Each structure stands twice: as structure tokens, then as C-alpha cells.
Structure 1
Amino acid sequence: MSHVLVSTSTGDPYKELYKCLWKAKVPGKTDLHRALSFKEWMLEKALALGSEVFEKLMMIICALWKNRNNFLWNGTQQTAQDIVLSSFAWLAEFQKARAPAEPKQKQPKRFWKQAAFGVLKMKVDASFLSSQSKGGVGGVLRTDNGRVVAAFAGPIPHMASPKQGELYAIRAGLDLINSLQLQQVVIESDCTEAITEASCEDHTLLANGGLIDDIQSAMATIPQVQLCYAPRSCNRIAHRLAGIGFEATHHIVWLDQTPECITDVITYDCNHLTCGSFYKSFTR
């Protein structure tokens, strides 16, 4: 058939080639005069694909074009396997970025909860400003019906981290409890790391080992004491007192009185007690 590929001076130079191909014994003859161009054929096949496969095809075509440009202008090229893997990785990242964000499930809001009958509850918190390397602590001691027994606020001139501040607040709360010679107390903080370290038996190598030793020694003098976690929503009063302590110049203690700066939060806490709990608290 080599002679039919030679261009002639008259007529269609591919006419003889078409005739030879049409007479050839091949399965599924096609009218070559009506054959699609590669672009049209590619589009026809692409439109017949499912959306997932079509997306992969588009990414591979894009990667091939990028590889072609890198070869022409930079003299670098990827293997076929690298092209396919990188195009699929791009597609996965694109789909992840465009995926709608999953709706966050709202956690039920928790409020202050009174301790068991006859048990006092001490809430402590700390405030910290890294740019000034100082902080403040605060806490409030309340009965099982919400009445304020004592409160404190004070500055910490040198504070290295929020966790260290929470440990200082726990120690300050324990100091107040011991000074009042109380027997049954629950201490709550909103810092799980501080609670974990304060309860650690082998704390000698920890950065706050000396402070933890003071906490454990103070806890050992109280017959019944418990250190627990409570979320920030349950710790509003101590949080406010810690902010006051940050601005204070000296340690402040209130005994058998409610500081005016926290009366609104006290009311807020009591308003969110369950009716049964509120009734029991004031009928004992």
C-alpha cells in the first residue's frame, strides 16, 4: 500500500487509501469519510462516562498538559505512573476543599451545679497574659444552696503558662480552705492538664513539681477533698475573680459576703438551677 500514501498532483491524495482500507477484511467496517476527529471522539467518549470517572479523566488531561509544558520549557517530565497518582491526589484535595462543612453538633450548655448536701464547692480559675509574663487567680467557695462562704482574688507576678496559673489558683483555693478549717470540699477547675498534674504521684521531674508538691501537701490536711474538672460555662464567677486578681496589686479575700462584682453571676447561676434542686436547697 505504499504507493497510495504518495501525494499525487490530481484529485484527493487520500482517495486511494480510503478505497484500500474499505476493501480490507476487518471486522466492523466504518465509513471513514464520516469518521470523527480525535477531539470529537474524545468528547463523545467522555460524555458517556460517569461523573466520578469523568472527573479523574479531566485531572489526568490537565496533568498531561502540565507535564508537556514542563518538558518543553524546563526539560523535566514525570512518568505515567507519577502523572496518574499526582492527578488523583490533586482531585482528592480539591474535593476535600470543596466539600460542605459538616454541621457541628451543639453541645448542651452546662451551668453551675451545687455540691451534695453538707459539702462545700470551691471554684478556681486563672488569667494569664504572655506578653507581660504575669497573671491573676481567683476563686469562690459556696454552700450546697449557692450561698457564698468566701471568695478570693490576687495577682501572680511571675507566671509561665496558663496551666501553671491554674495550679497557682488551686493552691490558693486550698490555702483558703485550710485557713477556714473545712472538712468536706470539692475543688473544680476548667483545666484538665492542671488537674492531671496536681493528681500525679510522680511529679518530681515535672516543670511545676514544686507547686504540685505544695498542692498535694495542702490536700493531705483536709479530711475529704476532691479535685474535679468543670467546663468554663460552670466557672463564670471564678473566671471573673481571676480577671480582678490580674489587675489587683495585692491578694483580696471576702469572708461571709458576696463581692458586688460577682452578684450578677451568682444570680445567673441560681436562676439555672433545676426547680427541684432550688426547692430542696431553700427548704432544708
Structure 2
Amino acid sequence: MLGMIREFLNQLLSGLLFVWVGGPLWVKDYLLSELSWNVYLVREWFDQCDAELILTIPSSRQTVPDRLVWHYDAKGVVQTLHMEHGSVCDWLAPCLGNLTKKNASLFLILVWFVWKERNKRLWNGRFASLDQLAFQVTSFYHLHMSVQAPSRRVVGRRNSQWTPPCPGWLKANCDGIYDASSHSVGIGVVVRDSSGSIVGVVCSKVRWVSNPQTIEALAYRAACSLLDRFGLAPVAFESDCQHAVTTINSQGVNTSLLGRVYEDISTMLGSLRGSYLSYISWNANKVANLLDLH
């Protein structure tokens, strides 16, 4: 789903969200003295698709004033489009009726975020990256779906196989492995939605760490950091290290060497509403185990 959202946003950000910032307004300004298109200027002020279409339009061989006209069809007949609905809501209602409830929700969320991004660009001069916007849409969609479906909280269940989270939830599996030859640690995190689709992945290496508890704690922090960065929630975190799960879920101040790491995890968990940690078997954590090897 994330890939679909990213592609949709890419089309909008390169087209519908294009903001005119001071280019020439009239056709005559894009013509050279010999009345041919100024190719450089056209390509400077229009995106590639529009520029190529403009350059295919034959220009007049006479110096003529610009004029505003209704667009005509292939036969040269001028037509106007008639609005059959009195408002945008009247038009939107039957469109949404053709979509499933989930797709209708996703469509409205996409439109809302596109409008917000358009306003930020136009009025504040702020530009969010495509990945950031896609993750924000995904996060809000998952949060919306979590409200629509009853939550399922299972702590301490030891599944022999990976199971998807409830609709509207994400599941993050994390693990770490020690490489004695390089004295480094490989950390793997994979985040998936209720359909099993991968939403995010982290593969990283940390040097000079050999304690198993430290390895697992760093893996948990990497997982929380990824989801906290993009505000994705709620999340069911899973790990095959029972000691780390028990320690992180415990209350009170932790004054051990890993105390600060656990504090980081708790702080980020607090911002991920409804999220929790649970222990699973090694077999149910295979994808994260494979990631940390790389």
C-alpha cells in the first residue's frame, strides 16, 4: 500500500501541486523574435510533460495578440462542460459510493494531505519529501483503521509462526546479531501491516558491542525510532529476547548500563499511542533475523 500511496503522491506533487512562481504569463513571452518557441524558456517554467506538449503546438507566423478561448474538440467545435452537481460534496458522494469503505477512507485521507501540502508550499514555502508525506498518509490511515476495528492486545504469547496484526495496526519485528570477526552488531527491523505488506525496514551496524542484552535493546530502539520518526501507530513490537521485553515493560527507573537506552525506548513508545511490546519465538521472528545478518 505504501508504494501505491507514494506513486499517487508523486503524480500530484509533480503536477497538481505545481506552484507558479513568477514565470511569463502570456504566450508571446515564450516566443522568439522569429516567432518560434523559446525551447529553453518553455522547459524552464513547465514540467517535462507539459513542455513537450506545448512545443508540439505550431505557432503563428504573424505577430498576433494573445487571446483567451474555450477549448475545442477535434472537429473545432467549442463545448463547455456542464456541472451536474451543485457542490463538490454532491459530486463526491457517488464517487465514494463506488469504492470500498477502506479505499474511500484512503482516498479522503490522500486528498486531505495533498491539500495540506499544497497550502504549506504555497503560503509557507515548506516542502515535505515524498517519503515523509507517504509515511504521514500511511500513519493516519492506520490510525483511522485502528479506530474502526476492535484492538487486540496480546502480551507474552509465543507464536511459532508470524501472524499479521489487526486491521489498522502495524507490527514491528526486531532482532540483533553479533559478528565476532568484526566485533560489530547487525540490527534488523521490519514493519508490516495487517495484509503482511512491508511498510518499513531498517538494517544497521553498530561496532564494539557484544553483550546480548545491549544488542536487543539497540534493535528495539531502532524499531521505535523508525516508527516515531514518521509517527506510525499503533504498533505491536515483537522480539525473541524475553529479557529485553520484560525489562522494557517493567515500571520504575532503570539504573543499569542500558538504562538510558530503555528510557529512549519508553519515551518513543509513549508517543506511539496504543503500542506495546511482546515476546515471540525465534521462528516467528525469522524476517528480522535474516535482516540483521545483512
TM-score by length of 2: 0.44
Larger radius of gyration: 1
